[in-house]
Amino acid sequence: MEFLSEYASFLAKTLTLVVAIVVVLVAIAATRSRGRRGGGQLQVQKLNDFYKDLRERLEHSVLSKDQLKATRKAQAKAAKQEKKAPPSKPRVFVLDFDGDIKASATDNLRHEVTALLSMAKAEDEVVLRLESGGGMVHSYGLASSQLVRIRDAGIPLTVCVDKVAASGGYMMACIGQKILSAPFAILGSIGVVAQLPNVHRLLKKHEIDFEVLTAGEYKRTLTVFGENTEKGREKFQEDLETTHELFKGFVARYRPQLDIDAIATGEVWLGMAAQERLLVDELKTSDQYLAERAVEAELFHVHFAHKKSLQERVGLAASIAADRFVLTWLSRLNQQRFW
């Protein structure tokens, strides 16, 4: 028992020391980063090399020694011939957008678009791999505007949706001259929603007053704590309808083939049904499309990465660990339903 007590004391001291070191490092990083502007850098990867590496690794495992030797010889001959008279291949710039409710990825997208517009030409192509269930109107409006820059520059834009492009996500997707969707991806949700709780009756029950002072008749239409009026509700609904009409007009501008009144109901459709309604042009995953394009074009994955502070890296690591823990247990609980 004495040994266990000493061991527990040793562990507690060690843990305390580790926590103290982390706190000091975070404090130092915070001091150094104070007043500095956040930087970042553009990262570019040639995807043709990635696909080539995948193929060569598979060939090395599957082909016999003689077959592999013959294949390598043929590849070397083709590479030598191409080096003598290199073909003029179009370029495909691949971007990713993983959208949250605030469309936070716009901070990277704006720099990526600025970079590629500095050298992309009309014979090139931009492919956006888009995943988003939508979010704030103004945030996705700004994200969509970044894609409009590509289209206005006369550069073909293809949008690939493997999982979801709904609401603000579809606002972005519709800008593409071509929209590709996986068969069971979710698309649509061309509508506007707003919801908020109201605890006025609870406050009133406990004799708690809450006052809102405004200048302007409609400065505040609905409130969480105050008493909402029918006039305020009508104005709030009117604002939603106005936003919806603007949303419909935006989609119709870039997808004129749509029956906008029929599909702007807030509904969502899976890829196959979405194609029937002309929300997408073709059923195809981004992997299939890019692998096909890699045969005839040079593919470049473009990503602007912001430099993360120590606090952000520590917080991100903790967040990832927590997410993995929760997802693991949710997965186990879900599996038990089918045992």
Active site (catalytic) residues? 167, 219
**Which residue carries 């009026």 as its tokens?**
229
DSSP label at 213? -
Tokens of 201: 């009756």
Residue partners of 107: CB distance under 8 A and separation at least 6: 306
Residue partners of 11: CB distance under 8 A and separation at least 6: none
CB of 47 closer than 8 Å to CB of 94 = yes
3-state secondary structure of 2: helix
Tokens of 125: 């192509």
Is the Cα torsion angle 13, 19, 25, 27 positive or negative in sign? negative
CB of 280 closer than 8 Å to CB of 180 = yes
Task: Of 106, 49, 51, give the one whose Cα is nearest residue 304.
Answer: 106
Cross-strand bridge partners of residue 282: 180
CB of 126 closer than 8 Å to CB of 120 = yes
Tokens of 186: 């979710």
Tokens of 115: 């970079």
Task: Of 178, 150, 162, give the one whose Cα is nearest residue 278.
Answer: 178
CB of 135 closer than 8 Å to CB of 159 = no
Q: Please tell me the distance from the alpha carbon of residue 190 to that of residue 246, in angstroms, as a whole number.
A: 11
Single-letter residue type at 271 = G
DSSP label at 100? -
Is the Cα torsion angle 305, 309, 311, 313 positive or negative in sign? positive
